[in-house]
Amino acid sequence: MLLVLLAVALSALAYVETAVPMWQSTATVKLPVADTTGDPMEQLLQMNSANDPVETYMEVAKSLNVALRVARDLDLTNTAQFGGAKDLTAVAGALINSFSVTTVEGSNILSFRVQASDRRLAARLANAWAQAFIDVNLDFNRTGADSRRNFIESQMAALKVTLTNGEEALTKLAQHQGVLHQAGGETQDQGESLIAELQMKAEDLEIERSTLATRYSPNNPRYKEVDAEYREAERELQRRMLQMPTQEMDYSRLAREVKANEAMYDLLLEKDQETRISENVDDSGIVVVDTALPANTPFSPQKKRIVLLGLLVGLLLSFSAAWSLERWLDQVGGEAELFRLSGLPALAMIPNWRYELKSTQAAGAKQKAGGPSEEGLPQQEMEGLIIMPSLKNTYYSESFKMLRTNLAFSQVDRPIKTFCVLSANASEGKTTINSNLALTLAATGKKVLLVDGDLRKPRLHKLFGLKVGSDVGLPFLLNGQATLESQLRQGPVPELSILPCGVIVPNPSELMASAILEKILQTMRERFDYVIFDAAPILPVTDGVVLATRLDGVALVVKHEGTRRLELRVALEHLASAKAPVLGTILNSVDMRKYSYTYGYKSQSYGD
């Protein structure tokens, strides 16, 4: 846990010390206020960015066009930070990545923030960015003004032709009629004056309606109102004109058209003059509010924050690692921990026999691990048995004598005659321990029976090199198909008998729970001094727990740094639920090189 915390903290310190500091500078600009009170014609012809929303300006500020201007104006290809770039486009791309633009909601102020590895360069970049932004928008304004002027001039040219033709037609009509008309279409009598007034009103309404049409849809209330007034004026004018002679009617209509064209031409001429002025004005309406200054402290790395964050992450990783180790790597690690977890005495601590072999060979033993034993059994069939020549006079063989002694004193008031070493899971050494315990008991001259009670995966016949058929095993005794004498095989020592199993049955739990097993156990007690059973593991199946309730005592073997704490706890719970006579625990496969109190272990000084 401390190592993880230290590693993360040192990594954070190394990063803040080796990271290249980055500096940030900010320049702010004020955008022009959009003019929404102008006349309709201006709004129709407006093509510059003065009325654009703030979001449009922000996108322009982040554009490649602005970045290219900054890179070119500051000659960034010759600077240390951007000198490795291929061209201005590559520099502009890098600049965009280091640039950000923000605005205060509801305002027309933009802030340009630029980061660079040099504090002065960061300030220069921010100021250059603001100026390039202003220049780009000024170019937009000039381009828009030029487009507006071309549009206005094309409209004026067409309108001038129409106006000239209308004036010529009006002159010819007046000459043909031989009537003097006053300007504006007014006649001499009262009726003609009223028609002239209606003509002027209709013309004014038509201009206003056309103007509103450029701004609003036909459903707009104001547009509907003006349109209704115009139509009413037209109807009244038509009614009055119908009362006039045909010649006077034609003249009035033509005069009205000429007057309307003159008004429109005058308006376009005014706008053309304004546009020409806009083309030559060197002002985009954007002003710099604050210029960027070199920063006093780097923007990144923020050393304090990174170190504190590293410590926090280190603590979280440390606790996570500790929890993971506790949850997934929770193997039992020693005698003290085994006693704390089980609350039972440790009957023996059995070394890893493979380490014993290596130690024996290092001490110069003459017989190698693969040679034949003194009993004539092939070495590969006897792995882990104390009768192996290389395992004699070792702490491994002595540990089983200790187990034998502790079992003798575990029940002073009631002798232990039937016994079994159980394990939580497979591959924890129970079969080897049961076999070596039987050999150790037989070495004292006692008659010992070793029974293969693992009816799912029998191993004793393989371990002792016995040839058995499918008609041998405890199931035949339980079914009454054979006698005890017919099933026994002689072990490697005179006082040891073995009841192997050569058959696998489908119902081992039911056989272990049968009433006849108690009779067979009684027969075994009368015939032998000790009966040692080898049974199935506890957690996968219930056979071992059922058998344990029939015996005088059982012990639970725990593999050193192999059996998990959770597995040990559950196995003990199973045995306790069945009220099995658990005498203690056995710590198996221990690397005795980790223990200093194993007297004579390295010198192999133990004897019979």
The tokens for 244 are: 């006039």
Q: Is residue 14 scored above 50 in pLDDT?
A: yes
- Among 44-58, 123-137, 226-240, name the one with the lowest average pLDDT: 44-58
User: pLDDT tens, 260-286?
Assistant: 777 777 777 777 777 666 556 556 678
User: pLDDT tens, 153-183?
Assistant: 777 787 777 878 877 777 776 666 554 444 4
525: pLDDT confidence band, cut at 50, 70 and 90?
very high
Q: Is residue 489 scored above 80 in pLDDT?
A: yes
The CATH fold of domain 331-594: Rossmann fold (3.40.50)
**What pLDDT does residue 303 have?**
67
What kind of architecture, by CATH, is found in domain 23-147+284-303? 2-Layer Sandwich (3.30)
Q: Where are the domains of the chain?
A: 23-147+284-303, 151-280, 331-594
The tokens for 375 are: 């009993």
Please list the residues that pair with 28 across neighbouring strands: 111, 290
Q: Is residue 327 scored above 70 in pLDDT?
A: no
User: pLDDT tens, 569-589?
Assistant: 999 999 999 999 999 999 999
Highest mean pLDDT among 123-127, 321-325, 529-533: 529-533
455: pLDDT confidence band, cut at 50, 70 and 90?
very high
**What pLDDT does residue 501 have?**
94
What contacts 485, CB < 8 A, 6 or more positions away?
none
User: pLDDT tens, 436-451?
Assistant: 999 999 999 999 999 9
What does R_g of the chain's alpha carbons equal in angstroms? 54
Nearest to 459, CA basis, from 433, 437, 494: 433
Q: Is residue 146 scored above 70 in pLDDT?
A: no
Helix, strand and coil in the chain, % to nearest 5:
55, 10, 35
Contact 114/24 with Cβ under 8 angstroms?
A: yes
Q: Is residue 242 scored above 90 in pLDDT?
A: no
Separation CA 133–CA 119 (nearest Å): 21
**What pLDDT does residue 368 have?**
46
User: pLDDT tens, 285-310?
Assistant: 788 888 989 988 887 776 677 778 87
- Sheet with 553-559: strands ordered across: 346-351, 582-590, 553-559, 418-423, 530-534, 448-452, 496-499, 489-490
Separation CA 162–CA 142 (nearest Å): 30
Looking at 76-137, which runs of residues are DSSP E strands? 99-103, 109-116
CB atoms within 10 A of CB 575: 20
Please list the residues that pair with 557 across neighbouring strands: 423, 586
46: pLDDT confidence band, cut at 50, 70 and 90?
very low
**What pLDDT does residue 321 have?**
75
Q: Is residue 128 scored above 80 in pLDDT?
A: yes
CB atoms within 10 A of CB 249: 17
Separation CA 368–CA 390 (nearest Å): 7
